[in-house]
Structure 1
């Protein structure tokens, strides 16, 4: 097999940059001064206007591009007191930085990354498998999570299968919906322990990880599928779906997750919120309590499986119901910020897997 050479050239060309913009800065911001150890050497109110410093652009916390959880930590993290989301990828990156820093400073060794990640998976699976119905807390202090018509192990069905969406157009009911920006922080989740808070969300798919086969301490084989999702208010939220290896391939949740791809807009009901190392993540609950439904898909062609909403559902000039309005907002967000990837050809009458592609502005 011949070798291939991949060139990653993401930097813009020099000629395309405009250095005359008034919003560019000629002095370092406070986090950069702290990082460089220059706090006491420079006047934080500014520099000599005649100095020949390079110009910089300060990126605000509420930036418009999507932070997926793979990006570097924001320099203003000390000033930002909001909730932090946990993802396995960002955790591995952080641990590698800790190990490197410990090696450089000859500090005492810290726990291996695999061991720490195993602790997260064990805790997540324990919540999924062992949680009792009495431990499920309300979706918020003011409003419950639509449990008046549900029992712990028997969730009412408001959906049809993906294959019949294009025909039946049955819209699942989401109940009380929570935006990702409204998810509480780890401190609150720990304060209500042993209760576990559950939420219903309408989100866009950023990334569907390959299934992982995991053997628990009890020797039980399970499968883990991780979704990275976002909405118009926040992104980079990770949801772990634990599936029994003994379940058939026709299992409804497994079939739904296997068919998802980036840019899909989905409703996920009864997502349990958990925390690990002061960061929040979501996960499924056992007994099919957690459900996922495809609401909208930007179809590749007419034969592609779509969601229960079409483009025409969002063009009405009338006031939309809250759930449909949320779906429209998330749809607009994913089409603007999430790359669709390349879908391979059909196999056995179904479209193949999605190949991830970088956005055009990264060359």
Structure 2
């Protein structure tokens, strides 16, 4: 299998890296995080101009039809730059629309950078089990009536359309009976309460009270949304793994530079063998995580459900372990400066910590991997 990136993919990565270095440096990011909205419209417009919003959208809707491997390249650079714009949330929402079919007008708006999406999936009791849904959708006239509440919706306050999971049948944790809806954020009955998260991103709680949704808002078929929900969540987890790789690489590079410049006893501390060993351990974690994340991207691009589940859970677990190790080591090697707001190291560590908790933490994906067929020999 050839793991070399194509020329077009490298060009995308280079364009993003140059933009981050030129117009989205660390101080610019800090200013955006402190702003009222937590995002920058000019930065979003630049992402659209560079073709990033159109990348995963099908050509028939004005996109480039990019694969998960193409997105892997982009997300690495966004992670390296600690970009806080709602790109991940929007691309995950676009994946829901793609898998469900239809909604071409929304996808065309996403491709053009005119529309931001957010995915309202998690609830107070659900933690990492996205099938645990208490929000209800009942048939009403020619559409649906939704009642419930969603928690920690990434960039929920910035979205023009919300992708909402609700139960139209079955028990609270059943796979059957899950339906998905694309709802304009200004629909009467929807209340969005935004807030800033630990890593400088924005999230929101979304309350749905008597929300009337037309039949056309349904994504896929009523009661059959579980497969779309799982596939899209795996896609999002794969993007998070790629973003984490970019952040870990940047944090590793920053730590290495610090060891070369910080002096103790008249020499750079990087000359101390004990610290060299720790950097070597960080590098091994980084490269192992890179291999697993790239394999997950390949499996997502291939589309086989069984291999996709296995590779994504393995990658999310390995990346989570690497992120924790590299983040903790980097903070310690930076000394007291490592935890200050003025140094990028603390911001990378916070973002990596949040990635670990998004769309399933390491324990969740380890348990999921172990539950898949073929992990353990069948009992006699």
TM-score of the alignment, normalized to the shorter chain, above 0.5: no
Query: TM-score, normalised on structure 2?
Result: 0.21
More helix by share: 2
Query: TM-score, normalised on structure 1?
Result: 0.22
For the pair shown, the structure with the greater C-alpha radius of gyration is 1
